[in-house]
Amino acid sequence: MKKILIVTSEFGSGHKTPAEALRQEFIRQGHHAEFFDFEDIIGAFTERVTKELFDFATTHVPLLHRGLAAATNSNSILDVIIRLTPAKVSENLEARIRSMQPDAVVTTFPAANRLIAELKKKYPFELVSVVTDLKTIHHYWIAEGTDAYIAALPDTATSLAALGVPKEKIFVLGYPLRAPFFAQKDTHALRAQFAIANNDFVALYLVHTAPDSFAEQLARALDTTPDITPVIICGKNEALKQSLKRELRRTHIIGFANNMDEYLRVADVAIGKAGTGFLMEAAAMGCPVIITKYLKPQEEGNAEFFESHGIGFIERTAAKAMARVRTLKNESKDVRAARSQKTKNIFPKNTTAAIVEFITQDK
């Protein structure tokens, strides 16, 4: 049995879900795995304020976010930031490592990587960075002393190598997803469960933010198109869920869904922003994606990868997104099946199990 400490955060997006998938798989394979949240490093108040500022910048002032990302995209700048970081910031992390004595520290949240690497000089653990971006990689993923970088795709490995990571430390093992994404399930039974006919063309739309003109226009267009069955997932935005329920008549309106694999299994197309988790979950289910927006710089590479491989489509207006839905609906079954198989090829095996087996093997 190995002892694994997983450092992650709900800050930003796409870090906690793969971390939870890994934790569950470590436990399933008989190991001991614990979470350590970034909040516990910088404190709850600082984390909340920082997260609110991040959410505001990414939603309302994307140029500010892009500027900050560019300004810190340098090893030398990040090294200075670490040197100026008060020692007290990492005290909780060091205390956990000292008490747990993990065999490995696994990180899915790059802001913590250099702090962990500093502690590795004092404690004998293996440091593994599970990179949750697909192609556009920021320097904050890179920390001297990291033993292994887990890359989701060959493109990810290429980007890491371009930033100076030795190739012998890069391992292309895939992106970690929860166990249900690798299970066998009956799609016809799921459609019956969701009250969706087997021959319906299902457009799954993930809208987690407050309504904006794009979301409102696309939701109405989907709802008023008789030969398309829309399913809209609102996440934890209860106000959005209730607003859409009052306005839309044909659409299935869902709040938070912990069975995303099932909704993606019944969907013929999935629509949303280019978060890595959303894109890779859709890919595992063989579902093509329409990308409505992406956050620069980190999600830009995600969108480019899916578009360049013909399994995703970037549409910047609601009208164009709706036109793409109609185009996909009118494709032949053979074309749809070929694209679906090409998408599934990203996940030729249970990637989460492969990552856990790699980390826990005797080196």
Distances (CA, A) of 300 to 75, 164, 274, 304: 21, 21, 8, 6
pLDDT band at 112 (very low <50, low <70, confident <90, very high): confident
Across the range 200-221, mean pLDDT stands at 86
Contact between 246 and 226 (Cβ < 8 Å): no
Give the pLDDT confidence score for residue 180 in this predicted structure.
Answer: 95
Q: Beta-carbon neighbour count of residue 82 at 10 Å? A: 16
pLDDT band at 122 (very low <50, low <70, confident <90, very high): very high
Alpha carbon distance 19, 38 (integer Å): 12
Complete domains list, the chain, with CATH: 3-177+349-360 (3.40.50.2000), 180-344 (3.40.50.2000)
The mean of the pLDDT values for the chain is: 87
- If 0-12 CB within 10 Å is exposed, 13-18 middle and 19+ buried, where does residue 134 land? buried
Give the pLDDT confidence score for residue 240 in this predicted structure.
Answer: 86
Which position has the higher pLDDT, 50 or 113?
A: 113
Give the pLDDT confidence score for residue 238 in this predicted structure.
Answer: 86
Across the range 83-100, mean pLDDT stands at 75
Give the pLDDT confidence score for residue 93 in this predicted structure.
Answer: 87
Q: Going by DSSP bridges, is the β-strand pair 126-130/269-272 parallel, antiparallel, or unpaired?
A: unpaired
Give the pLDDT confidence score for residue 69 in this predicted structure.
Answer: 61
- Buried residues in 249-274 as b, exposed as e (16+ CB within 10 A): eebbbbeeeeebbbbbbbbbbbbbbb
Contact between 231 and 195 (Cβ < 8 Å): no
Q: Beta-carbon neighbour count of residue 210 at 10 Å? A: 11
In one-letter notation, the amino acid at residue 287 is: C
pLDDT digits (tens, 9 = 90+) for 35-82: 988 766 655 555 555 555 656 655 666 665 566 666 556 666 556 555
Give the pLDDT confidence score for residue 230 in this predicted structure.
Answer: 97
Alpha carbon distance 210, 183 (integer Å): 33
**Of 132, 158, 116, nearest in space to 277 by CA:** 132
Angle at 18 between CA 12 and CA 20, to 5 degrees: 105
Alpha carbon distance 352, 20 (integer Å): 11
Alpha carbon distance 208, 211 (integer Å): 9
Give the pLDDT confidence score for residue 347 in this predicted structure.
Answer: 81
Contact between 81 and 72 (Cβ < 8 Å): yes
Give the pLDDT confidence score for residue 211 in this predicted structure.
Answer: 58
Give the pLDDT confidence score for residue 115 in this predicted structure.
Answer: 87
pLDDT digits (tens, 9 = 90+) for 266-315: 999 999 999 999 999 999 999 999 999 888 878 899 999 999 999 999 99
Residue whose structure tokens are 């690497």: 117
Across the range 146-174, mean pLDDT stands at 96
pLDDT band at 10 (very low <50, low <70, confident <90, very high): confident
Give the pLDDT confidence score for residue 79 in this predicted structure.
Answer: 62
Determine what percent of the chain is predicted with pLDDT higher than 70.
83
